[in-house]
Amino acid sequence: MGLRPRQKLKTHHESALRRVTPEGGKRNILILNNNQHHIPHYMKALLLAAAFLSSLCWAGTNPYNIIPEPVKVTTASGTTKNLKILNEQKVSGLGNEGYSMKLTPGGVELRYTTPNGKAMAMATLFQLQDQLADSPEGLPCGSIQDAPDFGWRGMMVDVGRYHYPMKELYNFVDAMHYYKYNVLHLHLTEDQGWRLPVPGYDKLRTIGSVRPSAPEGQNNSLLANEGMYSKKELQDLVAYCKARGIQVLPEVEMPGHNMALAASYPEFCCNTKRAQLWTHGGVSSKLICPQKAGTKKFLKDTYDTLQQIFSFGYVHIGGDECPMGDWKKCADCQAARAKKGQGDDVEAQMSDFTKSLGAMLAKNKKKPILWYDINKSYYHKGETVMSWLPGEFPRCIDKTKEQGIDLIVTPQYKYYLARTQMKFPADDVRARPGGGPILLKDCYNFDPRNGRDKNDVKHIKGINLCMWAEWIPSGELLMYMTYPRAMAVSESAWGSHKERPSLEDFEKKMETHKKRFQKRFGYTLERTVENKPYRESSITQEEIDRINANYKKGQQDAGK
């Protein structure tokens, strides 16, 4: 019989294939037609292997379903079912968080320059392991070269308003690591609670960390809550984060947002009348008095405590939303201004205060971070700020550059993930807080550099997501509100905004993560109006009664 003519064989097998493009996809996939029984067995095997490799790919550019998208992926022949690390090596030139990874039939080879680089490589490896669990045929062999665009990829957790148990924070950190975030910002103090243990100031625990039930009918109320972290708990959390390439940024708000402190130690304030820890949201007017000896000692003791717990080179000192009425009326503050010839210029006094905090931090080789208000004048060259106010972005990019201060982009209507992620019926209590939702596409399409060239805005350190907790009283709600939007932000925080996948491609990739996310972290990524947890279901009546009893006991001891 002899062989068929070469051209005829080629034509025959081309006719056995049809070419389709996945809906919204960019890549053609070859699949078999119904007459595949005419294809020789050796060709069937090749075509089925090709179809399998295609099935591993999301409708994008590589077969690895990694979020955020690696900088460079190269596939090779063969597949691997083994993702154990064969060897790892420290090499120069890959940067603080860069790494390279080679997937071979026998396992994985890693290269990195720093422990942070290894931590980011492990995040990728965890995602590949989860993908392999869904792909019994194995994953394509290949290599990954990766490094972040921004060095700061932060998430703020508002433990001041709600004391989250440590096990929930650890789970949150694991998810951060999985998606390559590298700064856990702990908002430790607020009007509604104080969570930092400062030795010698026990009323912060018995009074400042215990919030009772709100009065009936009060607007914008928070649920009852109590708790203070121990020094060891925080130290252990810092160590856990460090092993995953994550720094912990502590925040102690000064001079405002301090009703919890004022309830515990009113003598540290300009107005020494004892305050009540707030059970509602808003902006308080009570300020600490930086002129008093007792306040100065307390600040030193607080910063010494931070130094003993947190190894990161930055401390967030707050500095926002502090109405200056108390400082204007305070005799001690007036005398301090008069001595410097400042008259009624309380912003100059605020500048002196934040500068003094910076000097205190500098003794421990740390730098301050402040919340930014583009209309204020009390920032200093060399500081770092987080811009959050509506309308500031993108004006804050040029303004901070002029001032010689570094910028972390934190826009309220893009990165404040306490806002809902879908539209709710107006009468649904789960629609709170009010205002428009921040959709997944809003997060994904936002460019932290506003289209500017990277070299033109080198002072932009990165981004910070904020989960303000007035309406997020549990780990379940914290994860629900953070994800999947944090996954969308990671694509522009780790990789280039211009070169990120299309939104449609990202959403397809995200679909592959839903099952894996639930299995690994215990929470669903499905987001509907119906499945958002109710805030009030996060606490039992028994817990409320215990907290209220502890609050009453603390108040009885307040004057002692």
- Give, in order, the Cα–Cα distances in Å from 489 to each of 59, 151, 153, 415, 465: 20, 14, 9, 8, 9
What are the residue numbers of the active site?
321
Give backbone dihedrals phi and psi of 108, rounded to 5 degrees, phi first.
Answer: -115, 135
Q: What class is the 152-553 domain?
A: alpha beta
Alpha carbons 144 and 142: distance in angstroms, whole number: 7
Q: What is the pLDDT at residue 61?
A: 55
Q: Diameter of the chain by CA atoms? A: 110
Alpha carbons 330 and 271: distance in angstroms, whole number: 8
Give backbone dihedrals phi and psi of 155, rounded to 5 degrees, phi first.
Answer: -135, 130
Which are the contacts of 66, defined by CB distance < 8 A and separation ≥ 6? 124, 127, 128, 144
Give the three-state DSSP class for 512: helix
Q: What is the pLDDT at residue 313?
A: 98
Task: Say what the pTM is.
Answer: 0.89
In 3D, which of 405, 482, 539, 396 has the Cα closest to residue 157? 482
Which are the contacts of 374, defined by CB distance < 8 A and separation ≥ 6? 387, 389, 392, 395, 396, 399
- Could you tell me which CATH number the domain at 60-147 has? 3.30.379.10
Alpha carbons 273 and 238: distance in angstroms, whole number: 37
- Give, in order, the Cα–Cα distances in Å from 503 to each of 24, 416, 460, 498, 526: 10, 20, 24, 12, 17
- Return the structure tokens found at 509: 């990739």
Q: What is the pLDDT at residue 41?
A: 52
Low-confidence ranges of the chain (pLDDT < 70): 1-61
Alpha carbons 136 and 76: distance in angstroms, whole number: 19
**Domain residue extents for the chain:** 1-56, 60-147, 152-553
CA 150 from chain centre, in angstroms, equals 13
